[in-house]
Structure 1
């Protein structure tokens, strides 16, 4: 018996994978932080994000929304089950960290707007 050749079944699947990956993309952490900031500016009232107008295109008509994960659920049982799960708890833990600002990012690279370096080098 000779060697069996490879089947070559996965040729050209890269574009399909990328299409589904971008379609299922959720909000980033900084976008969720902006949503949470809106809630805190409103006095801690989460109803502005949770209770919305009925939308037939969303699961559960858009009434069951998880703010940290930015996901809609079909009913309250599914939402409660999600909130007990590992993915939700991980997302909440990540959201406890304060997001970086543009000034902090520029300072890390070396683009500082302060003149503190000029004062330190004077001899």
Structure 2
């Protein structure tokens, strides 16, 4: 009896996991919300000086997705696409704060009882 062949599975394929681990990552949503969407920083990002090491000489940049594009046509078609619209929708939600994350993990002050110091002396009435 021969070996059973399974097709189209990536269960333990090392190359697939390595690819997902080493792909180029963009900025996180909270970084974009706090830094890039500020009107002063946004104006600087949209009007960047020419940089020969970035795609499209750094002239076609999507602030919401933190990506450079080769041409103006590519940038405009990106704006109409599903990926950009999904990212804009995610950016409309408020960013989590450190206090919210601590409360979600059960470390916040919300669920703890306040410490009350009382002077109790045993044996006195």
State the structure with more CA Rg. Answer: 2
Aligned pairs for 1:44-59 (under 5 A) are 46-59=42-55
CA RMSD of aligned residues (A): 3.1
TM-score of the superposed pair, with normalisation by structure 2: 0.71
Describe the SS at the equivalent of 1:118: coil
Q: Once the two structures are superposed, what CA deviation does each residue of 1:84-110 show, in whole Å capped at 9, x if it has no partner?
A: 001000000001011110011111222
Q: CA deviation at 1:59?
A: 1.0
Q: Once the two structures are superposed, what CA deviation does each residue of 1:64-101 show, in whole Å capped at 9, x if it has no partner?
A: 10011111011111111100001000000001011110
Q: Once the two structures are superposed, what CA deviation does each residue of 1:7-47 show, in whole Å capped at 9, x if it has no partner?
A: 9xx9x952x4445432322221112112335x23x3xx732
TM-score of the superposed pair, with normalisation by structure 1: 0.72
Describe the SS at the equivalent of 2:61: strand
Asked if the contact 2:55/2:68 (under 8 Å) is kept, the reply is yes
Q: CA deviation at 1:51?
A: 1.6
Match of 1:79 among 53, 75, 78: 75
Report the count of equivalent residues. 112
Please give the alpha-carbon distance, in whole angstroms, between the structure 1 residues aligned to 2:99 and 2:105: 10
**Unaligned 5+ residue runs, structure 1?**
none
